[in-house]
Amino acid sequence: MTQEKQKKRGTEVLYSLIAEARGYDDAVVLGRGDPDFDTPAHIVAAAKRAFENHANDYSPPEGILPIREAIAERVQRINGVEVDPNTDIVFTNGGQEALFLMVVAAIGEGDGLLVPEPNYNTYKDAVTFSRGVSVGMPTYPAESFRVDPERVRATLTPDTKALLLVSPNNPAASVISRDDQLALIALAEEHDLLILADDIYDLLIYDDFTHTSPASLPGGKERTLTLNALSKAYAMTGWRTGWVMGPADLMVRVKALKAAVSGPASIVSQHAALAALTGPQEPMEEMREAYIRRRGIVLDYLDQMGFSYGNPQGGQFVFVDIGHTGMSSLELSQKILSRAHVLAYPGGAFSEDMDHFLRITFLQPEDQLRDGLARMKQAMDAISEENAP
Ligand SMILES: Cc1ncc(COP(=O)(O)O)c(C=O)c1O
């Protein structure tokens, strides 16, 4: 069964583990990727108003102008990127559609996308649908999963068409520094590569780390497509609110794809997204503070369990090294699930080379988080005792 599961795509492995967890009444899903918080009330109210005002028409495929203007204002203020709302932005059904459009717009048959590993697993799926090739490049916990520009250079092939830069990264929780972004842009210029930037966690940055969008740096904007979404920072995963932005000549293709794939996003979600971007930001700030507290709780338990991990610099995850257990990530994940009813996601589902990691998220209320981690600790203590020589 284990082998059969390992042959499946990463997402399929995760779905089957989640289905297994649902079978337990007291399951705690420590790997989950969607915030437990409710969407802030003023956003829900804006959606209700949209319904009541009969917002039931199609918008242009790229979204209503006010949402594109609000996005342009946001990326100028937060990311330091100037974009034209008329030509440079397409509003999408969440980050996932943005990801697919971005990859399909950039990658054609035989083109290579350089993917620092580990990474969000559906990038590879999108590249496969594009008939392109994902070229993996390892990053290491001892280097805080740094995307080392020199290693990127050594990994380039004549077919490499684009670099994927997800910062903060899912699942490694690493942030690409401004200096490394500059070096990566220089490399992209030298080899005439596109950059696919995923800024979905740009508001979730910890300690003294800072987020830099490649499009904000000299030479970056004209070769970068950037995705973002409100799913994570605003607790809006189910609303499907995201966007792709980039230079007008590349965005023509993204817009045409959007029209062909799904047409415009739900008009009600566009109004909700507008309220999220232009309304009070305090609820989002409060969630951010809760994530900072929870991150502390998770790291504390992991220290008690004797695990090492890449220090989470941003995002909502910790990528935990389980190498010393001698088990594959799926084996350990399944053991913890069956014994403690706690699901930590196997690193192998994110990248074959990351089979000695588990992903734990801090997207559960504090009491559930503590309960899940305490049960995981009990299971780990028992497993260590059984495996003791
Ligand atoms: C790095 C990254 N990009 C894109 C997405 C997709 O975002 P959405 O949930 O808005 O579809 C996710 C979701 O987990 C993600 O982690």
- Report if residue 185 sits inside a domain: yes
pLDDT above 90 for 13: no
Radius of gyration of the chain (CA): 21
The predicted structure's pLDDT at residue 84: 98
Q: Is 306 left (phi over 0), alpha (psi -120 to 50) or beta?
A: left
Same domain, 320 and 372: yes
pLDDT surpasses 90 at 19: yes
Q: Are residues 148 and 232 in the same domain?
A: yes
**Side-chain-side CA neighbours of residue 270 (13 Å):** 22
User: CA-to-CA distance for 73 and 274, rounded, in angstroms?
Assistant: 11
- Domain harbouring 287, CATH code: 3.90.1150.10
* pLDDT attached to residue 261: 96
- Residue 387 domain flag: no
Average pLDDT over residues 343-355: 88
Task: Report residue 60 as tokens.
Answer: 């242009």
Please check whether residues 221 and 296 belong to one and the same domain. Answer: no
Residue type present at position 43: I
As a whole-number percent, the residues of the chain with pLDDT over 90 amount to 89
12 pLDDT band, cuts 50/70/90, is: confident
Q: Could you tell me if 111 and 146 lie in one domain? A: yes
User: Residue 8 has what pLDDT?
Assistant: 65
51 belongs to a structural domain: no
Q: 203-223 pLDDT, tens per residue?
A: 999 999 999 999 999 999 999
Structure tokens at 195: 């950059």
Question: Do 129 and 215 sit in the same domain of this protein?
Answer: yes
Mutation probe of ligand 1 site: the residue of 18, 100, 120 with most atoms within 8 A of C-beta: 120
Range of the domain at 357: 2-38+283-380
Taking the CA of residue 315 as reference, the ligand 1 atom at the shortest distance is 16
3-state helix, strand, coil in the chain (%, to 5): 50, 15, 35
* Residue of 93, 101, 132 lying closest to 115 (CA atoms): 132
CA distance 262 to 61: 8
Q: Which of 17-31, 93-107, 344-358 has the lowest mean pLDDT?
A: 344-358
Are 102 and 187 within one domain? yes
Q: How confident is the model at residue 59 (pLDDT cuts 50, 70, 90)?
A: very high
**CB distance 46 to 275 below 8 Å:** yes
H helices of 107-148, in order, are: 122-129
**Residue (of 35, 357, 350) closest to 201 by Cα position:** 35
pLDDT score of 131: 98
- Last residue in a domain, options 252, 278, 304: 278
Instruction: Note whether 28 and 65 are same-domain residues.
Output: no
Mean pLDDT over all residues of the chain? 94
As a whole number, mean pLDDT of residues 271-296 equals 96
Asked whether residue 30 carries a pLDDT value surpassing 50, the answer given is yes
Q: Is residue 50 part of a domain?
A: no
The alpha carbon of 234 and the centre of ligand 1 are apart by a number of angstroms equal to 13
- Give the pLDDT score at 33: 86
Q: How far, in Å, from the CA of 129 to the mean position of ligand 1? A: 18
DSSP reduced 3-state for 261? helix
Q: Quick one: average pLDDT of 61-70?
A: 98
pLDDT digits (tens, 9 = 90+) for 376-385: 999 999 998 8
5 or 144: which carries more pLDDT confidence?
A: 144
With beta carbons less than 8 A apart as the criterion, state whether 70 and 44 touch. Answer: no
pLDDT at residue 384, as a whole number: 87
Mean pLDDT of 187-213: 97
> Is any ligand 1 atom within 6 A of the Cβ of residue 120?
yes
User: From CA 291, how far away is CA 67, in angstroms rounded?
Assistant: 27
44 part of a folded domain: no
Q: CB–CB of 53/257 below 8 Å?
A: no
Q: Is the pLDDT of residue 72 over 90?
A: yes
Task: Give the number of other Cβ atoms within 10 Å of residue 140's Cβ.
Answer: 13
Per the structure block, which two tokens stand in for 154? 């050594």
pLDDT tens digit string along 147-173? 999 999 999 999 999 999 999 999 999
Share of the chain above pLDDT 70, in %: 98
Q: Is 314 a pocket residue for ligand 1 (Cβ < 6 Å)?
A: no
Q: Which of 34, 123, 200, 345 to mutate to test the pocket of ligand 1 (most atoms within 8 A of CB)?
A: 200
